[in-house]
């Protein structure tokens, strides 16, 4: 039986860097590679980024358990230093488990940036996310912040 369960979450972060620097961490392939990464024990099989409206990102990794995960995204809207909107699919072992709409907003907040990440997910055919996507995205935002601090 085909079905879909839905979840929405929003993560806000106050970062001590201007919007242009935070936006670049998403836009520049080398900068994004430093933080948008699976755990260290996961072998990256392939990675590509084409940051433009209509461009695609892909990341495929092999886990110690033998599981293979695949992230495939397409950019729908980019306003430099202000907003990124993309749609992405996740696959585990070749099976599509979700389709999500992600919106990243950057707003000046004093000398820093208020970054807001909102995701609307459809989890497919019995895949029970149980909050894992939100926890994983929070972990990626921690890695983003750490990579910005290291780049100083």
By percentage, how much of the chain surpasses pLDDT 70? 99
**What are the pLDDT digits (tens) for 78-93?**
999 999 999 999 999 9
* pTM of the predicted structure, to 2 decimals: 0.94
What are the residue boundaries of the structural domains of the chain, listed by start?
Answer: 4-150
The CATH number that domain 4-150 falls under is: 3.30.530.20
pLDDT at 1: 62
**88, burial (CB in 10 Å: exposed 0-12, middle 13-18, buried 19+):** buried
């Amino acid at each position: 039986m085909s079905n879909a369960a839905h979840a929405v979450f929003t993560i806000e972060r106050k970062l001590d860097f201007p919007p242009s620097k935070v936006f670049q961490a998403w836009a520049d392939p080398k900068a994004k590679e430093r933080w948008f990464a699976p755990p260290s024990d996961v072998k990256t099989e392939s990675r590509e980024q084409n940051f433009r409206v209509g461009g695609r990102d892909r990341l495929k990794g092999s886990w110690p358990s033998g599981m293979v995960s695949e992230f495939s995204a397409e950019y729908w809207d980019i306003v430099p230093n202000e907003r990124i909107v993309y749609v992405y699919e996740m696959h585990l072992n070749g099976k599509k488990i979700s389709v999500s709409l992600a919106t990243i907003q950057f707003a000046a907040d004093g000398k820093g940036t208020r970054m807001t990440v909102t995701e609307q997910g459809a989890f497919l055919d019995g895949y029970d996310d149980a909050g894992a996507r939100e926890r994983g995205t929070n972990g990626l935002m921690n890695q983003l912040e750490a990579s910005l601090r290291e780049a100083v």
